[in-house]
Amino acid sequence: MTDATQGLQERLAAIIANTQPGQRLPAEPDLARELGVSRASLREAMRTFETQGIIHRRPRAGTYVMQPPAVIESGLEVLESIDTLASRIGLPVSMGDVSILRRTASAEEAAALGIEENFGVIDIRRSILTNQKAVAYLIDILPEGLVGDEEMRDFQGSVLDLLIKRGSPPLQSSRCEISVVQANRELAKIFGIQRGDGLLMFKAWLYTVSGQVIDYSFSYFLPGYFRFHVVRRVGQVLNPNLNLINK
Amino acid sequence: MTDATQGLQERLAAIIANTQPGQRLPAEPDLARELGVSRASLREAMRTFETQGIIHRRPRAGTYVMQPPAVIESGLEVLESIDTLASRIGLPVSMGDVSILRRTASAEEAAALGIEENFGVIDIRRSILTNQKAVAYLIDILPEGLVGDEEMRDFQGSVLDLLIKRGSPPLQSSRCEISVVQANRELAKIFGIQRGDGLLMFKAWLYTVSGQVIDYSFSYFLPGYFRFHVVRRVGQVLNPNLNLINK
DNA sequence: ATTTTTTAATTTGTCAGACAATTGACGTTT
DNA sequence: AAACGTCAATTGTCTGACAAATTAAAAAAT
């Protein structure tokens, strides 16, 4: 996606975010004029949000901002920080050492964040303790320039909570990959376990409403202290393309 | 999305599906002519696939079909059997030894299935092989009397597929708990790993539409062969009130 | 005053045609 | 063989237009 397209995407995202769910957006010709683009370009940008279920377009009636689905389950469907989760479960947790450093992005991180290699990133690492024992270790990689210095100084909780609290850019969802990894020396030392012991790992991409990755994170969990669940629908896979592609 | 739009979407999906990953799609004017639509409409449809990362567009160079990831990947939102998943991805898998036996329910199983202790259950265990190597081991516990003897005899695939195929009772959803377990002697032997090595485990309750648990299952996955993911919503932030408040 | 009917404006879906900017392949020159 | 210039190809974007149907306003009828 080109820079100009990205900019339009973000400006449109802001307009959508500032519209009450259920409310109608301005008509396309008006919106295009407001954004200074042609109606065709606007429609392409809108298609992105329609694909994500953020807006719904009704021919001859208008385009409406969707109501975010009601959250009932308390599983992985909803993104919440470990801190929020722990306090909800009643697990007394404290934060261990926090490491915040600026460095340049590795190739993998640059690809994940959609930035150039060697672009600056902020690397935040911290452990979650219960009874003086580490039960989770969290690494967040963010593009430089997103979080100010003063924000960083009084950083006490989770990166996610910080981003949610500041409100901009508006967040959309997180893609979370679940896997098991063997503890390397660093992780073994942090958790006080043997090298090679299994750890539950979440690798997550946090997306803004404009589709940009704002946080690339690795979360390691000591088995036995956390229980994650997800409710799975019975039915068809929604993405029809994958079916076609692999037939 | 209107019906005509849906049709274009599907026809474009078919064209993308029949294009080798990494290859270029025909130029937009040609593709539009082939599909019998205008270039503007085609571009809107293409934006849908670009959003999903299925195609990548490079200005003045063309539109390219992306390479799908090589590992077994599954969104957890939709419940599907490992067999269906593997065939959808094109991974050649075979079924290892299958063990089907009738016995009485343990206390844990009785609680999970909502039946009396010592009530009869069917215990189905099987391993999934790829290249003669076990990569998954699945245990299904069902209340007795739900599956007939003749159905069991020619049982070849997954319990879930069997239940879906027979259609009754109608299934609703599955609650899946994700954790990491250490391989015991039995599991270590099955997977050819050391005792104590980490395995990804799903513990799942399959619910019918009437709310009854019809299948209580344990699924063990060898790390590295599967990549499960889940999209986690950021519920509150899309709520425009918060954005306004925090601005 | 209220309900029904008619009318007109609104809005998305779609089309055709055009131009700009840059890439990548090709041919030419050194 | 290498460097350079040329030119077709391709996506990104714009303008203007029409169709179809919904919605709201206006008009008519009760």
Does the distance separating the beta carbons of A235 and B78 come in below 8 Å? yes
A61 CB below 7 A from strand C atoms: yes
Domain-embedded: residue A229? no
Nucleotide nearest to A59 (CA to C1'): C12
Closest CA in chain B for residue A172: B234
Do residue B7 and residue B83 come from a single domain?
no
Closest CA in chain A for residue B247: A167
Which range is least confidently modeled, A19-33, B135-149, B168-182, B189-203? Answer: B168-182
What would the mean pLDDT of A144-162 be, rounded to a whole number? 71
Do residue B80 and residue B171 come from a single domain?
yes
Nucleotide nearest to B1 (CA to C1'): C13
Position B73 scores a pLDDT of: 45
Do residue A55 and residue A139 come from a single domain?
no
Do residue B120 and residue B187 come from a single domain?
yes
- Among residues A65, A98, A115, which one ends one of the domains? A65
- Among residues B65, B80, B114, which one ends one of the domains? B65
B8 CB below 7 A from strand C atoms: yes
Burial label for A121, CB within 10 Å (0-12, 13-18, 19+), is buried
Return the bridge partners of B207, or none: B173, B213
Position A79 scores a pLDDT of: 60
**More confident site: A86 or A17:** A17
Q: Which pLDDT tens digit goes with each residue over B152-176?
A: 666 667 778 777 777 667 766 677 8
Do residue B200 and residue B217 come from a single domain?
yes
Domain-embedded: residue A70? no
Which residue has tokens 């519209």? A19
How many domains, chain B?
Answer: 2
Position A245 scores a pLDDT of: 29
Which residue has tokens 């694909």? A51
The helix (H) or strand (E) run that includes residue B204 is: strand B198-208
Query: Cα(A136)–Cα(B142) distance, rounded to whole angstroms?
Result: 35
Residue among A166, A227, A244 minimizing CB distance to B246 = A166
Do residue A200 and residue A110 come from a single domain?
yes
What would the mean pLDDT of A204-221 be, rounded to a whole number? 83
Picking from A42, A64, A61, A43, the residue whose alpha carbon sits closest to that of residue A53 is A64
Q: pLDDT category, B21, cuts 50, 70, 90?
A: confident
Domain-embedded: residue B102? yes
| CATH code, B138 | 3.40.1410.10
Domain-embedded: residue A232? no
Query: Cα(A28)–Cα(A17) distance, rounded to whole angstroms?
Result: 17
Domain-embedded: residue B238? no
**More confident site: B32 or B145:** B32
Q: Shortest Cα distance from A69 to chain B (angstroms)? A: 8
Do residue B36 and residue B13 come from a single domain?
yes
Position A153 scores a pLDDT of: 62
Position A158 scores a pLDDT of: 78
In DSSP notation, B36-71 reads TS-HHHHHHHHHHHHHTTSEEEETTTEEEEPPPPSS
Picking from B121, B107, B123, B136, the residue whose alpha carbon sits closest to that of residue B199 is B136
Q: pLDDT category, B50, cuts 50, 70, 90?
A: confident
- On average, the pLDDT of chain A sits at 78
> A224: which residues sit within 8 A by CB, 6+ positions away?
B179
Q: Which pLDDT tens digit goes with each residue over A83-107?
A: 766 666 666 777 888 888 899 999 8
Position A180 scores a pLDDT of: 92
Do residue B85 and residue B43 come from a single domain?
no
Task: Among all protein residues, pick the one whose CA is nearest to the C1' atom of D14.
Answer: A38
**More confident site: B242 or A95:** A95
Domain-embedded: residue A123? yes
Do residue B43 and residue B136 come from a single domain?
no
In DSSP notation, chain A reads --HHHHHHHHHHHHHHHTS-TTPBPPPHHHHHHHHTS-HHHHHHHHHHHHHTTSEEEETTTEEEEPPPPP----STTB---HHHHHHHHT---EEEEEEEEEEEPPHHHHHHHT--TT-EEEEEEEEEEETTEEEEEEEEEEETTSS-HHHHHT--S-HHHHHHHH--SPEEEEEEEEEEEE--HHHHHHHT--TT-EEEEEEEEEEETTS-EEEEEEEEE-TTS--EEEEEEES--S-HHHHHHT-
Q: Is the pLDDT of residue B241 over 60?
A: no
Position B185 scores a pLDDT of: 95
Do residue A149 and residue A216 come from a single domain?
yes
Q: Shortest Cα distance from A95 to chain B (angstroms)? A: 23
Domain-embedded: residue B147? yes
What B179-182 contacts at long range (C-beta under 8 Å, 24+ apart), as own/partner pairs, is: B179/A200, B179/A223, B179/A224, B179/A226, B179/A227, B179/A228, B179/B203, B180/A180, B180/A198, B180/A199, B180/A200, B180/A221, B180/A223, B181/A198, B181/A223, B181/B220, B182/A198, B182/A223
Give the residue ranges with Cβ < 7 A from strand D.
Answer: A 1-2, 4-5, 8, 36-41, 44, 58-61; B 25, 27-30, 39-40, 43, 57-63
Instruction: Centre a 10 Å sphere on the Cβ of residue A101 and count the other Cβ atoms it contains.
Output: 9
Return the bridge partners of B98, or none: B126
Position B71 scores a pLDDT of: 43
| CATH code, B48 | 1.10.10.10
What would the mean pLDDT of A31-47 be, rounded to a whole number? 91
Closest CA in chain A for residue B200: A180
Do residue A31 and residue A109 come from a single domain?
no
Q: Is the pLDDT of residue B29 over 50?
A: yes
Query: Cα(B160)–Cα(A27) distance, rounded to whole angstroms?
Result: 47
Q: What is the ipTM of this complex?
A: 0.55
Picking from B213, B243, B44, B143, the residue whose alpha carbon sits closest to that of residue A68 is B243
- How many beta-carbon contacts under 8 Å exist across A and B? 228
Count, in order, helices (H) and strands (E) of chain B.
Answer: 10, 11
Closest CA in chain A for residue B242: A167
What would the mean pLDDT of B132-152 be, rounded to a whole number? 82
A23 CB below 7 A from strand C atoms: no
Position A244 scores a pLDDT of: 32
Does the distance separating the beta carbons of A71 and B239 come in below 8 Å? no
Domain-embedded: residue B170? yes
Do residue A119 and residue A163 come from a single domain?
yes
Q: A198-208 and A213-221 as β-strands: parallel, antiparallel, unpaired?
A: antiparallel
Q: A213-221 and B72-75 as β-strands: parallel, antiparallel, unpaired?
A: unpaired
Q: How far is the CA of A246 from the C1' of D11 (A)?
A: 28
Domain with A143, as residue range(s), is 82-221
Position B247 scores a pLDDT of: 22
